[in-house]
Amino acid sequence: MMSRNLFYLFFLACSGSLSAAELEGSWIEGGLLIGQAEPGSTILFKDEMVMLSAQGLFVIGLHRDENEPVRLQIESPDGSIETQVFEVAQREYNIQSIEGIAQNIMEPSAEDQDHIWSDYVMTSEARKIRSDFEAFLTDFDWPVRGPISGVYGSQRVYNGVPGTPHYGLDIAVPSGTAVVAPAAGQIIMVNDNMFYSGGTIMLDHGHGVSSSFLHLSKTLVEVGDWVEQGDLIAEVGATGRVTGPHLDWRMSWGNSRVDPELLLRASGAWDKD
Ligand SMILES: [Zn+2]
């Protein structure tokens, strides 16, 4: 499924230029940019320090809603500082209004709230990990192939109250379908019973870039395992709060949710059979 709007934005979004670093990628909501600076530089993005490899590589992720221009500052080892502000291309998301939802469906019980909280703590801890490998440089490939049933950024508004946006790419395939690693990395979280997402795996691609795989029927890896691109990690399921079997693949850079579709388009995998 091709989003005309998204495709258009690809042409509009430009990388801008800095003399202290080279950047590859687009300043677009949900995008990931790879930078190359002089080794030993200090990088600040939105006033927060960004991890830099010994070779001077870094990565920046843009969230769903980057309504303000973003600031990137690079301090070179000689002490010179360069700052640039970038406009982020705004995307239009699919917003759906749903009226007449019963209130008791929307309010989880006290016990469920504890479950939701412990899931939140577990995923937040995993998102803090900053590993110094660069598997995110790989050309990303599909974790499973099938019809797209949900895209990044879409949102439902229940009785006028906006729900949490959907950050994943949903691929509708039967339970038991093999899920493979879309790029190499280290398994940083495995949980067979999360409240919303059921069987869930988080795969670290380095520098805070991670993939999450939700609603799995079977997890086939353990925390600490290193996997290569294409390695079997799980089976698709319908666990957690879902209406049917599918894989929900999400990607993050720290707490910023990036769009897997953009990575598949950049690698060319999106249009490949
Ligand atoms: Zn989903």
Question: What is the domain partition of the chain in residue ranges?
Answer: 4-86, 95-267
Task: Supply the pLDDT for residue 10.
Answer: 46
Task: Supply the pLDDT for residue 29.
Answer: 97
Task: Supply the pLDDT for residue 108.
Answer: 84
Least confident of 6-15, 47-56, 129-138, 200-209: 6-15
- Region 65-79: what's the mean pLDDT? 95
| Å from CA of 198 to ligand 1 middle | 12
Task: Supply the pLDDT for residue 16.
Answer: 54
List, for residues 195-235, the tens digit of each pLDDT value: 999 999 999 999 999 999 999 999 999 999 999 999 999 99
Q: Report the side by side order of strands in the sheet with 95-98.
A: 95-98, 155-158, 161-162
- Confidence label for 190 from pLDDT (cuts 50, 70 and 90): very high
Task: Supply the pLDDT for residue 187.
Answer: 98
| Å from CA of 143 to ligand 1 middle | 14
| Å from CA of 36 to ligand 1 middle | 33
| Å from CA of 199 to ligand 1 middle | 13
What Cα–Cα distance (Å) separates residue 114 from each residue in 67, 107, 108, 124, 200? 33, 13, 10, 15, 18
Is the pLDDT confidence value at 149 over 50?
yes
Task: Supply the pLDDT for residue 12.
Answer: 42
Task: Supply the pLDDT for residue 103.
Answer: 58
**Burial of 92 per CB tally in 10 Å (0-12, 13-18, 19+):** exposed
Is the pLDDT confidence value at 8 over 70?
no
Is the pLDDT confidence value at 102 over 70?
no
| Å from CA of 166 to ligand 1 middle | 6
CATH of 95-267, one of 3.40.50.620, 3.30.70.600, 2.70.70.10, 3.40.50.10490: 2.70.70.10
| Å from CA of 241 to ligand 1 middle | 10
| Å from CA of 127 to ligand 1 middle | 19
List, for residues 111-136, the tens digit of each pLDDT value: 999 999 999 999 999 999 999 999 99
| Å from CA of 169 to ligand 1 middle | 6
Task: Supply the pLDDT for residue 135.
Answer: 97
CA 208/CA 167 separation, integer angstroms = 17
Overall CATH class of domain 4-86: mainly beta
Is the pLDDT confidence value at 3 over 60?
no
| Å from CA of 10 to ligand 1 middle | 24
| Å from CA of 37 to ligand 1 middle | 36
| Å from CA of 47 to ligand 1 middle | 32
| Å from CA of 162 to ligand 1 middle | 16
Indicate the average pLDDT of the chain: 91
Task: Supply the pLDDT for residue 52.
Answer: 97
Is the pLDDT confidence value at 104 over 60?
no
Task: Supply the pLDDT for residue 2.
Answer: 41
| Å from CA of 134 to ligand 1 middle | 27
Task: Supply the pLDDT for residue 17.
Answer: 66
| Å from CA of 150 to ligand 1 middle | 6
- Identical topology for domains 4-86 and 95-267: no
| Å from CA of 149 to ligand 1 middle | 8
| Å from CA of 151 to ligand 1 middle | 8
Is the pLDDT confidence value at 4 over 70?
no
